[in-house]
Amino acid sequence: MAAPKQRVEQQTAWVLHTYPWRETSLIVEVFSRDHGRVALVAKGARRPHSQLRGVLMAFQPLLMDWSGGGEVKTLVRAEWQGGQPLLSGRALICGYYLNELLVRLTAREDPHPRLFAAYAEAVRALGRGEPESPLLRRFELALLQDLGYEAGLEHEADGGEAVRPEGRYLYIIERGPVRLEVLEEEIRDSGGEGAAALGEQPLLSGQTLLDMAADDFSRAETLAQSKQLLRMLINHTLGGQPLQSRRVLKELQEL
């Protein structure tokens, strides 16, 4: 049975990815405010005089209309909303990293209004030339939380006690933050089982966890430790599959 056709109008959206389709058209992956990630066919968008040719750009706010009932809808109209500088250099690569996370980790037509707002703010911050690391960490955390991965940063795993600022913690996936001395005691009680895995986890201060919960990435230690933690959680969510944009960023840093 065919999916019912729908018409969506005046939808705020951002282009995440485009690729050629047939001779003159494009398939466009967009992230929209009310419909989440949507695949659209932009008919004739590759023709030299197409009105869509100069509009379907990444990292620019667009107003879109589309219609259709299948997995891939038909783009009817796209209008540039303006006010966003073009990204370049490292900011551009960081933007591609945000887009790759959304394409890889969100389901099509699954609305994420809070994540949409977090993405829009991250792109605008990149356009303003703000420091990249804090805005990337904020977006990564917002992404994980919106996908249903509750980080549980303010309370210790199991007992639910408040995280101690002076404490030292390891974050156990599917469990949460556990004080180092608690884990060491568990390992001793189990005859050493799990000791090897202990060294693979990033060591976090309690203050870092509390800073992350408060959206405060001003401390250098918080910035460094949160990067380790969020990378571990995102890698777990990706199932260990590498990110192309992360590889490009690493290569740029080595130049």
pLDDT of res. 2: 53
Q: Per mean pLDDT, which of 117-126, 145-154, 159-168, 241-250 is the most reliable?
A: 117-126
For 95, list phi and psi in degrees, rounded to 5: -65, -40
Share of the chain above pLDDT 90, in %: 72
Q: What digits encode the pLDDT tens for the residues 123-143? A: 999 999 999 999 999 999 999
Q: With 80 as the cut, is the pLDDT of residue 186 above it? A: yes
Q: What does the block give as tokens for 190?
A: 């189990």
Share of the chain above pLDDT 70, in %: 92
Distance between CA atoms of 27 and 39, rounded to whole angstroms?
7
Q: What is the pTM of this model?
A: 0.90
Q: With 60 as the cut, is the pLDDT of residue 169 above it? A: yes
pLDDT of res. 253: 62
**Lowest pLDDT segment from 2-11, 164-173, 198-207, 220-229:** 2-11
Could you tell me the sign of the dihedral formed by the alpha carbons of 199, 148, 41, 89, in that order? negative
pLDDT of res. 64: 97
pLDDT of res. 191: 72
Q: With 90 as the cut, is the pLDDT of residue 195 above it? A: no
Q: What digits encode the pLDDT tens for the residues 45-75? A: 999 888 888 899 999 999 999 999 889 999 9
- The helix or strand, by DSSP H or E, that contains position 118, with its residue range, turns out to be helix 113-127
Neighbours of 171 (CB within 10 A): 23
Q: With 80 as the cut, is the pLDDT of residue 199 above it? A: no
pLDDT of res. 242: 87
Could you tell me the sign of the dihedral formed by the alpha carbons of 168, 172, 173, 177, in that order? negative
For 45, list phi and psi in degrees, rounded to 5: -65, -20
pLDDT of res. 255: 41
Q: With 50 as the cut, is the pLDDT of residue 109 above it? A: yes
Distance between CA atoms of 19 and 192, rounded to whole angstroms?
52
